[in-house]
Amino acid sequence: MSGSTEQAGVPVTVDLSALPVLGPAACAQVLLLIRLLRNLAAPARVVVVGVASTVRSCLAAGLPDGVQLVDRRGRVWGG
């Protein structure tokens, strides 16, 4: 097995649940972080968990390929 195949099986997880509730103004900064992590971690998947409902829709709309979003109720967007 090549190293890239092994890396692809281990997702990078970002847990936002400890953050205070984020407002829509923070959406652009969080999306930038997600895109940077996705580019650095490729081909691994990035999973963002603990997303507050206040930014869920704007994050879900801007997700790059290979990123999965899980809100605080366990609902999943992206892949």
Distance, in Å, from the CA atom of 70 to the CA atom of 50, rounded to the nearest integer, reads: 6
Q: What's the Cα-to-Cα distance from 1 to each of 7, 8, 26, 40, 73, rounded to whole Å?
A: 10, 11, 40, 21, 37
What is the pLDDT, as a whole number, of residue 79? 76
| 4-29 per-position pLDDT tens digit | 445 567 899 999 999 887 777 888 89
Global model pTM greater than 0.85? no
Tokens of 75: 């609902």
How far is Cα of residue 28 from the mean position of the Cα atoms in its chain?
Answer: 13
CA distance linking residue 40 with residue 52, whole number of Å: 24
